[in-house]
Each structure stands twice: as C-alpha cells, then as structure tokens.
Amino acid sequence: MRVNVPTVAPQFIRSRISKVCVPIIGATPAEMLEKASAVAKETPFLEFRLDYLEKPLLALPKLKHFLSENTAVTAIATCRRAANGGKFSGNLAAEMEILSKAGTSGFHIVDLELESAESLKKGELQKLRDTGIALIVSHHDFTATKDLDGIFKRIEPFKADFIKIVPTAKSLTDNVTLMRFIERMDDHSNIVAVCMGDAGIISRVLGLRAGSAFTFAAATAGEETAPGQIAARTLIETYRIDQVDAATKVYGVAGNPIRSSLSPIMMNTAFRRETVNAVYLALQANKLSDLLKLVHEIPIQGLSVTMPLKQEIMAHLEKTDPLSAKIGACNTVLRQDGKLYGFNTDVAGITGPIEKRMSLRGAKALVLGAGGAARAAVFGMRDKGADVFILNRTAETAQKLARQSGSKTIKKDALAKTTFDVIVNATPISMTGIKGAPVLEAADLNTKLVFDLVYNPLETPLLRLARQHSIPIITGIEMFVQQGARQFEIFTGKPAPEEEMLRVVIHALRQQAESAAETPAPTAKTKKAS
C-alpha cells in the first residue's frame, strides 16, 4: 500500500529536489547565508540548521530575502531540539513557532523530529501544514540500527511528505539492514534513509540506488552535521553518486582504522579516468566476520585489505597467488562466482621503489614491524637476495617471522652500532589518526636509505629525521600508488592510470596538510544529526 502523501504539492517539491541535500550551519545568520550562497552554486538543495543559531526567529527575515533572490534553491528548515540530537535549547512550542514561521518565509520543507510530532496536541501539526510547507518527519538513533519497520509505523500516521529514518551503523552489515528496509519500501517514493557513523558510508553512497529519495552531504570537510557525513563535492565528484546504478560494481578498502585512507579518492579517480562503472568505498571493518558477510550481501567485487586483516583473511580465501601463500598475508581480494581469491601487490610496491635506487642483492635491510606489510617487505627483500633484520615491539612475533623467512631479529639497543643499506618502516606509527612513540631515534639511522610505508601524512617524523641527517628517503606514496595500480589492474583487467593516481593522492595530502595548518583545535564535542 502506498503511503498516503498529503496534497501539499508533493510532485512540485520532488521535481525541485536533487539527490544530495547539503546542511548549512553557522553561528550567525550572516555566516549561514555566506555559506549558503557558496554551496547553492553547485548544489541548490539546502537544509538550514536553524538550531545552530542563537536566535533562529530573528534570522528568518534575512533567510526569506535570500530565498526570494535565489529561486533555484530548495530549502529545508530544521530546528532540532537538543534532546533529539540538535542544538536548540527551547521547548516544543518554541520549535513549532520557528518552523511555522519558516513556512511563511520562503522555505519549501520543514523537518520535524518524530518525538516532537508525537508530543503535539491534536490539530497543532495541521497548523504547520496550513502554511503550505511540505513536511519531513524524522527519527535519529545515535546508538544503533534497530527495528526500522517499527519506526516507519510510528511515522506513517503523520502522513508526511517524506519519512526520514537515520540510525547509526555499528557494523558494516547495518548498512545492509538499512538498504534492505529501503528496498522493501519500494512502493513508497518518500523514504529518506541513511546510516550515521564511520561504518555508515556505504549507505550514504549506495542508499540512493536502494531507493532513498535523497541523501545528505556536508558543505565542506569539517562542517559535518552528523557522524560519518561526506563532503558534497566528494560525494558528487569522487563517488560519482549521480551515476551509481544497478550495474555499478562495488569495491572497497577494508581495515581498522580506515577514516584517513586515500584509497577511495585514488581508486575512484582511476575508475572515472578509465570509464569503469564502479565505485570504491572505505569499509570500517571492526570484525572480519562482519566484512565477509557484507562482501556477499552487497555484493562487493573486490577488496583492498589493510591492517589488521591481511593475515586473518587468508583462511577465508578459496585460493591465493603463490606470493600471498608464501608470505601468509594478502592485501587484494577478488570475488568471482561467489568465491574469494587473494593476491599480494604490497611486495612489488615495496621492492620496486627500492630497486630504482639500489640493488637488493647482498644488501643489509632493517624492517620495523611484523604485521602484514612487514611480512611483504621481509619476504620481498629476501627473495631479491637481501640480508634482512626485523625489529618489532613483540619479540616473539619478530622471531616467528624471522624463522619463516630466513631472516634475523635485532634488538633496539643494537641499532646504534649497526649499519644498514635500507631501513623500511612497516609499522603504522605516525599514520594520521594513530599515536605512538617513534620507533627510531637519530642515533639509530645508520643507513643509506629510509623508506616509510606510511603515506599519510605526506612527511612522517621518520622521514623528517632522515632529511635532517641528509639520508635519501622514499615516501609511502610511491608504495601506495604502485600497489594500488596493480590492484586496479586485478579488479578491472585494464592498465592503471598511475600518473593520475599519483597526482590525485599528492594533491589530497597537500590539501589535508594545508587544512590542518589552518584549522584551530576544537573546543567541545557536540552531538549532531542527519
């Protein structure tokens, strides 16, 4: 049965809205309008978060003037109360007054949270509808993804123009739960649904394909109004959300943490350049079992596997290339006929850049770490004839890897008295989002070459230290792009556009560095929604 949609020109509203709605925030009306003017040029579907303003009512005349001058803009007015994840400290009556006046100030749609709608006296909601404005009734769950059908049944009696349901993805498969819900509602064209949280990115990109009327994206990075929200330009240009359809193949990078990975921008750029109908997502995988279920449910055609899953995933593969089997770690998974096949492109990404600068035959190498990337470095360099030493925080793990690869272990206090041809950092220390004390000090850098596999940030403390002592370096970008290019070729069967992949990664890293230098430290955490 189709949802009983009221006759407040729903067809007119639907003809105006685009697939992406951008929330506009600001501490003052002037700040809000400045941002709205900039965003509207590219994405004219805007949500004005009136709850971010100290006095929302006083802002409405200025917003009315803006909307009268920008007739291409379709505007949602939201004044979410603090109890429901917003910033508005007023009571329900004050919220309704703001939303009602928004209805006579040029706004096209108001967003009313379900809890407010359920608290209204009989007839109060109709007064809001009488302004001629369309209505979204929304529900946000900041804890989990639960009983979406039950929430729908609570919202349905209000006969809203749009039903908005926003849970939080605590696992990757919560996205599947949400998208299956949207698909079940395929005769209801007014469902808006997305998962919040780092694990919810899948729903933000694939939700429209499942049938969500539209989705939300931040004005810019740093202006997110919900956990896990993607910047509008990224959603449109990188993920090409307007082109994602039933034939679009889905790939992803899986690991923990994954938030700072540049694999999505690199791979999606390569797909666009080579006109491949595919999208590549960041998959925050806290459990391998969760990831494997997602791979078969979506389904996902291929994975770039990063820490800490490179070794654990081996047991779940139908077959691997000889290199992965030898190393005991896999960083590339291809799904064919429902089965998973493993490859290792890390080795070429590590030995290739080194051999451009020196021969590994007879070279003396130090590898820091003993995880998946370290195993690739150790086995790769051993195969090339290098004499490899391993230093790891857990000595037992280093000793096991040394036995398996025919290498040696070394203690930290022996480094200052030992010289190497190359030192390779295969630990995540100094990676963006990961804290930890530096593994090496200046006295330990008795080497001709330093290679840090960490690519984000652009310059790590280890590389900086090497530069200060005039030691040649290899940045992690070189390894990152090379291994990614081989993955692209495994996924698509096409030659990888390596130069374009390198260009976009360097550009993204420089932008991040500039943004970090300009952004002041946050003063307080606030709960956000959409």
Binding-site residue numbers for NADP(+) are 369-373, 453, 476
Strands 332-336 and 339-343: antiparallel
Q: Does the active-site annotation cover 164?
A: yes
Closest of 115, 441, 132, 456 to residue 262, by C-alpha: 456
Please report, for the chain, how many H helices and E strands are present, in that order: 19, 20
Give 354: exposed, middle or buried? Use CB within 10 Å, 0-12, 13-18, 19+: buried
Could you tell me the two tokens for 55? 């006095």
Residue 24 has a CB neighbour count (10 Å cut-off) of 27
Residue 77: φ, ψ to 5°:
-105, 125
DSSP letters, 328-395, are: T--SEEEEETTEEEEE--HHHHHHHHHHTTS--TT-EEEEE--SHHHHHHHHHHHHTT-EEEEE-SSH
Which residues line the annotated binding site for shikimate? Answer: 261-263, 306, 331, 346, 455, 483
Q: Does the active-site annotation cover 448?
A: no
For 127, residues 6+ apart whose C-beta sits below 8 A from its C-beta are 100
Chain CA centroid to CA 486, Å: 22
State how far the Cα of 187 lies from the Cα of 19, in Å rounded to an integer: 18
Chain CA centroid to CA 106, Å: 34
Which residues line the annotated binding site for 3-dehydroquinate? Answer: 47-49, 80, 204, 225, 229
Could you tell me the two tokens for 16? 């105006």
Identity at 330, one-letter amino acid code = C
Which residues line the annotated binding site? Answer: 47-49, 80, 204, 225, 229, 261-263, 306, 331, 346, 369-373, 453, 455, 476, 483
Closest of 37, 47, 45 to residue 18, by C-alpha: 45
Cα dist. 56→133, 149, 377, 460 in Å? 18, 34, 58, 45
User: Could you give the dihedral angle defined by the CA atoms of residues 223, 228, 233 and 237, in that order, rounded to the nearest 10 degrees?
Assistant: 170
* Helices 372-383 and 395-405, axial angle in degrees (round to 10): 30
Q: Does the active-site annotation cover 384?
A: no
Whether 52 contacts 40, CB under 8 Å: no
Candidates 19, 249, 310, 384; catalytic one: 310
Cα dist. 529→215, 339, 387 in Å? 13, 38, 54
Candidates 19, 87, 140, 384; catalytic one: 140
Candidates 19, 35, 164, 249; catalytic one: 164
Indicate which residues carry an active-site annotation: 140, 164, 310
